[in-house]
Structure 1
Amino acid sequence: MKKSINKFIYSFAAIVGFATVSIAQDNKSDELGKIALATYIPAQESMSEQATNMLTNKLGQIISTNGIAKSSYNSRFIITANANVMTKDLLATAPPMTALTLDVTLYIGDGIDGKKFASKSLTLKGVGTNETKAYIDAMKNINQNDAGIQSFVTNGKNKIVEYYKANCSLIIKEAQLLEKQNRFDEAIFMLTSVPAECTDCYNKTMAIIPSMYKKMIDRDCKVKLMEANNLWNATQDYDTAMTVGGILSSIDPASACVGEAKALSAKVGKRVIEIDKREWNLNYEKEVGLQKDLIKAYRDVGVAYGNGQPKSVTYNVVGWW
């Protein structure tokens, strides 16, 4: 019996209708389609790294508790904070303790354009054996379930929705320009960043993405098919067959040139049997998926692009505090 040395499974989701509003409702439990905020704490001389980390974690708790996705990439919309020491006392205790009263102000806004959307001031008190521990003790008092903080988050969300309402046409035009430059992943990233809460703009962008996605996978198929053909034409051995198989397996089966990919697969398999006496298989299994699976595929492209961006960015918060 011939030994099967390689098997690649293809699957694809067929497009079966397009109901963006209902899908948005179905995905409420997911992070996809939510308003997203990046947590950002600029360097503050009075705060140690440990205290800054504590404050950053608290900001993350605030947004996750209040129905906002924590952006894994550098979102234009941010939640940030500034801490000022109001009082500092050295307590004559054993051991000596430091007592701090902090004025901490939380902000939500557009970190690219530098527009502040919402703010909330908090007075926090903390005690510790040193200033850093006193800072951390004070930060622990930030309650993400506080009604004032929840109102602050709601105000910020409303402003973000207003931003998309006012700029939807511009976002679409910029994405279409990127599409013309074959920068499909960046264009899809821009369009999938529109949250489902912005219903009208969300529906408009989701109506554009399928054709853009199709162009992207068709172009990707041509590039990969050319690479696979070049490799195989140069060297026809087992190792090259494995490399070619890896390339072919990454081609989306819904792309236009998948038939050519199958033809190359068959040619490679036949040659491997001739030179190596072993079987080389590339099987295609088709699955009919739901529309929400396609939406996730679109968002995966956007997320992959976003995650590939620089991890460190300096936002414009001039005048916020």
Structure 2
Amino acid sequence: MKKIILSCLCSILVICGIKAQNADADVNIGVVCPEQMDDLSAASLQRLRHKIEQIATANGVATYSDGTFILYPTIDSFDVRTVESGMKNIIVANTELILSVIQVSTGMKVNSVSVSFSGSGFNKSEAVANAISKIDTQSPVYAKFLSESKTRIYSYYKMNCSKLLQKAKALAAQQQYEAALADLACFPSSLPSYAQVVPVMMDIYERYQNVRCERLIQESKGCIALKDYSGAVEHLVQIDPESRCNSECTRLLDRIKQQVDKEEAEAIERKFRVFDTLVDLEKQRISAIRDIAKTYYSNQPTIQYTQIVK
């Protein structure tokens, strides 16, 4: 019966995800920028990264790096000339910005777009930095580029859904739960095949929780021993209410509520009330899985710009 209910809930969530696809970024493309570049300061490179992230966000793309698809820039100052102007000459640089999306594992270029800008300054570095400042993050050129890129990425996930599920199951069998969940969390929720992903993701998450909850219980007990009740609650709230630690979690919560005043006990009740319905629980699980993915990828070795642009 439980499996039937969860299956129905998965279908509901998929439908909700499809309706919300315009509001939520369900395609992830990591942004990678050079650490250093001739004629550009660290501040200018940071500004360039910020501009690219703004372009991605404005067009429904999440920008934490998962190592599958990467968006990166190349800059070429193809025409630099000196213009005499009063006491000090001005340098004018015509600069081409090329944005490209590639699939990291294969090096396959998914898409690219080229836009030219002109900047000026008292030296070449200032001129190129000025050109970068003129990048219009709301330009329809970038909207078209990322729309085409997303369409091709959707095709990748459609064609490789079965392989991705097999890989996730294999990782889970080796108890590499975070890696398995991270792979599945990046699957676009607006695709019909996401309906096949959710049940696998939920199953792996349940197994992950059953392993993790024992550690959370011990950490909570440690906080209780120190009378750090808010810390104990923060550990317990991470325990899935259908994990094998749920009974112990409930007992610890009862102990905590006996040690705090009425107002704080009521606040604890509200904190756990998010699980009043199974639909809320499923939403909470998907949100937790996405957080696991972000944490997992942030702990992976950084993809260097030189690995991509060779």
With the shorter chain as reference, the TM-score category is: 0.7 to 0.9
CA RMSD of aligned residues (A): 3.3
Q: Which residue of 1 aligns with 2:297?
A: 306
**Aligned partners of 2:228, 2:128: CA distance in 1, in Å?**
60
Distance in 1 (CA, whole Å) between partners of 2:153 and 2:77 is 31
Is the contact made by 1:144 and 1:150 (CA closer than 8 Å) also made in structure 2?
no
Residue 174 of structure 1 corresponds to 167
TM-score for the superposition, normalised by structure 2? 0.78
On the 8 A contact 1:114/1:318 being kept in 2, the answer is: no
Q: Cα 1:197–1:262, aligned 2, differ >3 Å: closer, same or farther?
A: closer
Aligned equivalent of 2:143? 150
1:108/1:119 contact within 8 Å kept: yes
TM-score by length of 1: 0.76
**Contact 2:28–2:66, Cα closer than 8 Å, also in 1:** no
Aligned mate of 1:17, from 9, 25, 38: 9
Cα deviation per residue 1:30-63 (whole Å; 9 max; x = unaligned)? 445x112222223432433233223222212221
* Cα distance between partner residues in 1 of 2:198 and 2:29: 21
Give CA deviations for 1:163-187 in whole Å, capped at 9, x if unaligned: 2123222211121112112222221
Q: Counterpart of 2:199?
A: 207
Change beyond 3 A, Cα 1:244–1:127: closer
2:51 equivalent to 1:58: yes
Displacement of 1:27? 3.0
Match of 1:5 in 2: none
Deviation at 1:244, TM superposition (A): 6.2
Same amino acid, percent of matched pairs: 21
Aligned residue in 1 for 2:226: 239
> 1:93–1:23: structure 2 CA closer, same or farther, 3 Å change rule?
same
Match of 1:134 among 127, 147, 152: 127
More helix by share: 2
User: Judging changes above 3 Å, is the alpha-carbon distance between structure 1 residues 140 and 117 closer, same or farther for their aligned structure 2 residues?
Assistant: same
1:205 Cα deviation (Å)?
1.1
In the other structure, the counterpart of 2:152 is: 159
2:271 is aligned with 1:257: no
User: Do 1:51 and 1:132's aligned partners in 2 also have CA atoms closer than 8 Å?
Assistant: no
Deviation at 1:134, TM superposition (A): 0.9
Query: By how many angstroms is 1:92 displaced?
Result: 1.8
What is the deviation of 1:206? 1.2
AA aligned to 1:115 is M
Partner Cα distance (1:78, 1:244) in 2: 39
2:85 is matched with which residue?
Answer: 93
Q: For 1:246 and 1:293, locate their aligned partners in 2 and report how far apart those are by CA, in whole Å.
A: 15
Q: Could you report, residue by residue, the CA deviation over 1:87-127 in whole angstroms, capped at 9, with x for unpaired residues?
A: 21222213321111122222111133211111122222111
Distance 1:293 1:247, change over 3 A: closer
Deviation at 1:302, TM superposition (A): 2.2
Deviates more, 1:142-151 or 1:253-262: 142-151
Whichever residue aligns with residue 308 of structure 2, its letter is V
Aligned residues, how many? 290
Match for 2:162: what amino acid? S
What CA distance in whole angstroms lies between the structure 1 residues aligned with 2:181 and 2:89? 57
- Paired residues of 2:102 and 2:109 also in contact (CA < 8 A): yes
Distance between the aligned counterparts of 2:89 and 2:80, measured in 1? 13
CA deviation after TM superposition for structure 1 residue 240, in Å: 6.6
| Correspondence for 1:79 among 62, 71, 79 | 71
Inter-partner Cα distance in structure 1 for 2:208 and 2:68 = 25
Distance 1:267 1:292 in 2: 28
CA contact (8 A) 1:241 1:268 kept: no
Matched residue SS, 2:308: coil
2:177 to 180, 184, 190: 184
Amino acid in the other structure paired with 1:287 = D
CA contact (8 A) 2:94 2:118 kept: yes
1:96 and 1:206, CA in 2 relative to 1: closer, same or farther beyond 3 A? same
How many Å apart are 1:228 and its aligned residue? Answer: 6.1
Seen in structure 2, the aligned counterparts of structure 1 residues 152 and 228 have a Cα distance that, compared at 3 Å, is closer
- 2:91 and 2:127 in contact (8 A); partners too: yes
Local SS of the residue matching 1:304? helix
Give the conservation status (yes or no) of the 8 Å contact 2:31–2:70: yes
Partner residue in 2 for 1:11: none
- The equivalent of 1:68 in structure 2 is 61
Q: Following the alignment from structure 1 to structure 2, what is the Cα–Cα distance between the partners of residues 145 and 90?
A: 31
Q: Tell me, what secondary structure is at the counterpart of 1:199?
A: coil
